């Protein structure tokens, strides 16, 4: 069972996951948050998001994945007699051949590591995660975008943001987007159809669910390093994890939704609620009919 995995082995596995997520562009995650969408039947909407945005490339988990290892030293392999069982001393020629192969492997690995790092920098829109100024650069980009009223870097890849934006939904809308980071997978997308319907989805959660049985890297980390049975474990138990609530209020017609309890009547129309955390089995979805 997965629960039997030792912390050190799990940490190593999560480092691999972190690198894979970075290279596959799943690099922006929600942390603790509260989000609301008010959608009027005439197409006007207001979306708010208060809480954490986590840049995976700046977290300590990613630092472990991208950390420069100590320069390895060559150690000759064991040589055997013709019976392939009895050990013997290697000849100078055999040691030289082993060392040549080892050097070629190290060169190939160094080349791959350099290409992976270059790819991560491209995915992060030119921001080098190894540069101490990276966190401030991303904060500046977010602060300069419409809707962001506050962006505060808290460390470990985590930004505390206060975001609110209003408009007329005659177009598709997505949050978040980050300047010069086109690979960001949005937390929420509103797709306006020609027939007046609006579909609300969470592409990030969909990809996370498809990529890993337990969700994204932060969610897996929450289960094992946030503590099983409420007991903290591991030195990285403060790794940011998904824990949020999304509320949709609309005076349009709720045509479909996947909330646990369905729509309830409130002064502004109908209200739908989703809790989003490690235990969320499906991503939020709703279909709302507006006045055409």
256-268 pLDDT per residue, tens:
999 988 999 999 9
72 located within any domain:
no
Taking CA atoms, 274 is separated from 222, 246, 247, 279, in Å, by 19, 5, 7, 12
Do the domain assignments include residue 149?
yes
Domain span at residue 105?
A: 79-123
Would you say residue 71 lies in a domain?
A: no
Q: Is residue 98 part of a domain?
A: yes
**Average pLDDT of span 139-146:** 94
Give the number of other Cβ atoms within 10 Å of residue 139's Cβ.
17
Q: What is the pTM of this model?
A: 0.71
274: in domain: yes
Residue 27's pLDDT band, with cuts at 50, 70 and 90, is confident
| 2/130: higher pLDDT | 130
Provide DSSP, 200-217: EE-HHHHHHHHH-TT-SH
**Among residues 66, 40, 278, which one has the least CA distance to residue 169?**
40
C-beta atoms surrounding 75 within 10 Å: 8
Residue 219 lies in a domain: yes
Looking at the fold, whether 135 and 117 belong to one and the same domain comes out as: no
Rounded distance, CA 163 to CA 149, Å?
Answer: 6
């Amino acid at each position: 069972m997965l629960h039997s995995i030792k912390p050190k082995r799990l940490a190593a596995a999560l480092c691999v996951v972190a690198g894979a997520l970075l290279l596959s562009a799943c690099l922006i995650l929600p942390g603790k948050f509260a989000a609301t969408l008010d959608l009027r039947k005439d197409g006007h909407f207001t979306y708010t998001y208060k809480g954490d945005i986590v840049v995976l490339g700046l977290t300590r988990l990613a630092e472990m994945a991208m950390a420069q290892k100590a320069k390895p030293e060559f150690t000759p392999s064991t040589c055997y007699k013709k019976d392939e069982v009895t050990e013997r001393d290697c000849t100078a020629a055999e040691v030289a051949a082993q060392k040549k192969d080892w050097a070629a492997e190290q060169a190939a690995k160094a080349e791959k590591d350099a290409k992976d790092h270059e790819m991560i920098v491209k995915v992060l829109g030119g921001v080098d995660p190894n540069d101490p100024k990276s966190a401030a650069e991303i904060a500046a980009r977010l602060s300069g975008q419409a809707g962001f009223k506050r962006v505060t870097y808290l460390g470990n890849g985590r930004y505390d943001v206060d975001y609110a934006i209003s408009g007329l939904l005659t177009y598709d809308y997505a949050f978040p987007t980050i300047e010069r980071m086109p690979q960001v997978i949005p937390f929420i997308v509103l797709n306006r159809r020609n027939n007046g319907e609006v579909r609300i989805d969470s592409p990030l959660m969909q990809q996370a669910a498809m990529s890993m049985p337990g969700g994204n890297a932060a969610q897996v980390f929450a289960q094992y390093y946030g503590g099983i049975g409420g007991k903290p474990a591991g030195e990285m138990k403060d790794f940011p994890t998904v824990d949020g609530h999304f509320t949709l209020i609309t005076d349009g017609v709720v045509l479909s939704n996947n909330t646990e309890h369905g729509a309830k009547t409130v002064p502004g129309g109908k209200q739908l609620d989703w809790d989003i955390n490690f235990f969320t089995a499906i991503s939020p979805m709703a279909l709302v009919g507006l006045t055409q």
